[in-house]
Amino acid sequence: NSFLARRVLTANPSATKAVTLKAKQLRDQGRDIITLSQGELDFDTPQPIREAARTAMDQGQTRYTEVAGSAELRQAVQHKFQSENGLNYSLDQIQVASGAKQILFNAFQATLNEGDEVLIPTPSWPSYPEMVRLASGEPRLLRCGENAGFKLTPEQLRAAINDNTKWLLLNNPANPSGALYTQSELRALGEVLQDYPQVWVIADEIYEHLRYDDQPFTSFAAAVPELSERTLTINGLSKAWAMTGWRVGYCAGPEPLIKALNLLQSQSTSHASSISQAAALSALKQPHTFITECVTELTRRRDLVVASIQQIPGLSCRVPQGAFYVFVNCQSLLGQVTAAGQTLDTDQDVALYLLEEADVAVVPGSAFDLPGYFRLSYGNALPQLEEAMRRISVACNNLV
Ligand code: PLP
């Protein structure tokens, strides 16, 4: 009989954090590990944003704010949705929280009863199913293969819906595949959902601004306005503004749902840190120069990684259109044998082999519910990526 609650005992820790931790342990032992397992960019938060936080502190913005976030910040979020996505929300339909992750967690806590199902197209961020389970819900993982561009099809969606289905979770652009849904693809999914009024949509659009090759972006709620009364749009500052550590995210949706999120927040964290809210306000008011430069640099990195992968025997990948990950197909390596005589049977074996033999940390695809792949992040600088790809190439060429 454990002192710990069942919900904790049956939950899995973050797989990406586990790989990153293992890499850190090896680095502490003196090994030169290149960590490509993180969901984080190597850029610093832009200077004006840091300055805004310093000013806020010095000017006494060190007290509690409104639960939903300061009115000024929610106005900036309102303006962002209006000007960038064509979405109109009142201030009561907007909440700021300690990261997009907190909003997802609270959204499931606020809406799921035992047995309620959440449809999660995979490969997906490993936290989604865990958060659903922590809220007593049932994650229904819908595998979207490489041939479908790792995207959910309307047929697949329709076949998965039943009376217990409560949410469809759409991550666009997607982690880990880099897949980007077009407006017409979103509409086709939305048309299916119009037949099922019990199903709501969470649109996790945290990677919105990290897109390549001038691909356009449509927010789900803008593509399918008919469903806006049952869509929760989630976004945040972490990825586009290199602000992962500040812990600020925001969302907009129907007022009763936002009210429920505010209730949970008021009885847990109260609100996002007042200093981080000041930084977020500044970020939302910045011109997009930083993001444009970021995307230019990330495009270079992506192109380098994709070109390298395509030259390594046994590996292949699609060209990601968003986020900053390459989801590498390593199925041809399975069954091959290392110089030490070990057979690589699974993607976990491949990831472990790359960590131990190439000193490169990647996350196995099974962590995202798609075995036979691994994810590498190009959040690291080019020289590091070049070295990592060289090492991966040597390690793969050493297999027989
Ligand atoms: N959603 C997805 C798909 C992510 O990959 C991440 C971070 O890895 C988040 C949400 C969390 O973002 P935040 O830092 O705002 O909590």
Q: Where are the domains of the chain?
A: 6-44+290-397, 62-285
The finding on whether 171 has its CB within 6 A of some atom of ligand 1 is yes
CA of 206 to the centre of ligand 1 (A): 6
Among residues 126, 117, 203, the alpha carbon closest in space to that of 160 is found at 117
The span from the CA of 396 to the CA of 74, in Å, is: 50
pLDDT band per the 50, 70, 90 thresholds, residue 375: very high
> Looking at the predicted complex, does its ipTM rise above 0.90?
yes
CA of 188 to the centre of ligand 1 (A): 26
Report which ligand 1 atom has the smallest distance to the Cα of 98.
16
Q: Is the pLDDT of residue 13 over 80?
A: no
Mutational pocket test of ligand 1: of 125, 233, 327, 377, the residue with most ligand atoms within 8 Å of the beta carbon: 125
The span from the CA of 171 to the CA of 307, in Å, is: 26
Confidence (pLDDT) at 82: 98
Confidence (pLDDT) at 21: 81
The span from the CA of 373 to the CA of 2, in Å, is: 36
CA of 171 to the centre of ligand 1 (A): 10
Which fold would CATH assign to domain 6-44+290-397? Answer: Aspartate Aminotransferase, domain 1 (3.90.1150)
Q: Is the pLDDT of residue 7 over 90?
A: no
Confidence (pLDDT) at 16: 73
What digits encode the pLDDT tens for the residues 58-85? Answer: 999 999 999 999 999 999 999 999 999 9
The finding on whether 69 has its CB within 6 A of some atom of ligand 1 is no
Longest dimension (CA), the chain: 64
The finding on whether 244 has its CB within 6 A of some atom of ligand 1 is yes
Beta strands in the chain (DSSP E): 34-35, 94-97, 117-122, 138-143, 165-171, 200-204, 231-236, 249-252, 316-317, 325-329, 360-361, 363-364, 373-377
**pTM (predicted TM-score):** 0.96
What digits encode the pLDDT tens for the residues 295-348? Answer: 999 999 999 999 999 999 999 999 999 999 999 999 999 999 999 999 999 999
Q: Is the pLDDT of residue 1 over 90?
A: no
Q: Is the pLDDT of residue 182 over 90?
A: yes
The span from the CA of 204 to the CA of 173, in Å, is: 8
Q: Are 305 and 36 in contact (CB under 8 A)?
A: no
Q: Are 94 and 80 in contact (CB under 8 A)?
A: no
Provide the mean pLDDT of the chain: 96
What digits encode the pLDDT tens for the residues 230-264? Answer: 999 999 999 999 999 999 999 999 999 999 999 99
Q: Which CATH number fits domain 62-285: 3.40.640.10, 3.40.50.1010, 1.20.1250.20, 3.90.226.10?
A: 3.40.640.10
The finding on whether 164 has its CB within 6 A of some atom of ligand 1 is no
The span from the CA of 348 to the CA of 248, in Å, is: 32
Mutational pocket test of ligand 1: of 103, 127, 250, the residue with most ligand atoms within 8 Å of the beta carbon: 127
Local structure of residue 299 (DSSP, 8 states):
H
Which residue's CA lies nearest to atom 7 of ligand 1? 39
The finding on whether 127 has its CB within 6 A of some atom of ligand 1 is no
CA of 78 to the centre of ligand 1 (A): 20
Which residue's CA lies nearest to atom 12 of ligand 1? 100
Report which ligand 1 atom has the smallest distance to the Cα of 40.
8
The span from the CA of 380 to the CA of 38, in Å, is: 9
